[in-house]
Amino acid sequence: MNNRAFLNIDGSFGEGGGAILRLSSAFSVLYRRSINITNIRANRPKKGLRMQHLKGLLTLSELTNSHLSDCDVGSSTITFIPKTELKERVKVEISTAGSIGLLLQPIQIACLGFTQPEHIEIFINGGGTFGKWAPSLNYLKQVTYKVFKNHGYNIEIEILKHGFYPKGGANVKCTLYPPKSKLKPIDLTELGVIEKIQGDICATNHLKSANVGERIKKSIINQLKQVVDIEVNVSYGYVDSISPGVGLSLWAQSDTGAIISTGTILGEKKLTSEQLGKRAAKELIKYLRNDIPVDNYLSDQIIPFMAFVKESSRIKVLEITNHTRTNLDLVKLFTNRNYKILKKDDYFIIEYS
């Protein structure tokens, strides 16, 4: 354990949201650095820790046997002292529709720095598989975790029951395999050739009678066929869930190993199924038209991976999002790795040398 002085982090800098908590605690474990975070979510209407942030911190500290200072909903300061031992399994109970994808984010980052145990199982009861401003588990399975696997880090998700806002109620098993061999650097600067566009529409049984899945699928295909000559394979399904809802993702894998996606798109009361499908198609088309191999939602998630791997990594993105900037700025606090952002006419290159 590195006994250097605590790293003090102002939780209000940058976007000043929950991402600073998740990333800082993850980097604390990954780089074996004790941290003290103040001014937590100071710029938000509801300041301090929310329940989903607290649950994430408690789960990470339990999994890694780390020390988390006494804190509760509303706390504006926390101290986190990392340890170097992982448990093989933990169980998490979530009483809200808090995002499971965001709960897993610091865990997936922290486990990059371990080689034991053979695998880690996380059983989650409750929470949301879909939620606003958060990656759905379908997106993680089809995009983020596939890119990770291509570079030596395997994470598997089993969705036993979906959960939507406002009641959640999901049931999920996540299995992480700490990397045993050297991780491969990421070099995604060319989109390459795409032969197929895929998609998954998940709607609850509350919406089955309105044929929501079928209508969204038809709208997606009609919109895409007007713009691109690529095979489209979109599936839909209806699931049991406490709260009604619909969520979807489109993605496309190329011969360069790139996987671009729409990210997670959620149904809204003011949007028809046809409008939702059109929105999804347009989101994917913007990456295809601009030859972008890393979508806005993946870029921030792979920055920690790029920074941790010692060899040079490069990605080409359409824009530098606030989440990506937060990742870059926080990594810089924990490591000596330098990054560059190269601005081109209609894209950016992010590089760790």
Which amino acid is present at 327? N
Q: Residue 45: its pLDDT value, please? A: 87
Q: Which amino acid, 195?
A: E
Paired tokens of 130? 């879909």
How is residue 81 written in tokens?
Answer: 């002292």
Q: Residue 220 has what DSSP assignment? A: H
* CA 306 and chain centroid, separation: 15
Cα–Cα distance measured from residue 323 to residue 321, given in angstroms and rounded to the nearest whole number: 5
**Region at 257 (left for phi over 0; alpha for psi -120 to 50; beta for the rest):** left
> What was the pLDDT predicted at 105?
96
Q: What residues pair up with 120 in beta bridges, in sequence order?
A: 176
Question: Which is nearest to 346 in space by CA: 318, 322, 320, 324?
Answer: 318
Report all structural domains of the chain as residue ranges with CATH numbers, in order of start.
1-84 (3.30.110.150), 86-182 (3.65.10.20), 190-289 (3.30.360.20), 305-353 (no CATH)
Which of 171, 57, 147 lies closest to 110 in space, CA to CA?
57
CA 136 to chain centre: 8
Identify which of 232, 212, 213 has the alpha carbon closest to the alpha carbon of residue 222: 232
Q: Cα separations (Å) of 102 from 79, 338, 345?
A: 20, 26, 33
CA torsion through residues 252, 326, 98, 27, sign: positive
Burial class (CB in 10 A: 0-12, 13-18, 19+), 269: exposed
Task: Give CA–CA dist 26/272, Å, rounded.
Answer: 39
Residues of the chain scoring pLDDT < 50:
1-3
CA–CA separation, 198 vs 196, rounded Å?
6
CA dist 110 and 106 (Å) reads: 6
Q: Nearest-CA neighbor of 25 among 15, 16, 34? A: 34
What's the confidence (pLDDT) of residue 301? 95
- The token duo for 292 is 């972008």
Under DSSP, the state recorded for 88 is S
What the block records as the tokens of 343 is 């601005």
Residues 6 or more apart whose CB falls under 8 angstroms from that of 159 comprise 129, 137, 138, 170, 171, 172
CA distance 277 to 203: 13
Residue 342: count of CB within 10 angstroms of its CB: 11
Rounded CA gap, 177 and 174, in Å? Answer: 10
User: Contact 198/251 with Cβ under 8 angstroms?
Assistant: yes
Contact (Cβ atoms closer than 8 angstroms) between residue 27 and residue 70: no
Q: What are the catalytic residues?
A: 323
Under DSSP, is residue 336 helix (H, G, I), strand (E, B) or coil?
Answer: coil
Other CB atoms within 10 Å distance of the CB of residue 290:
12
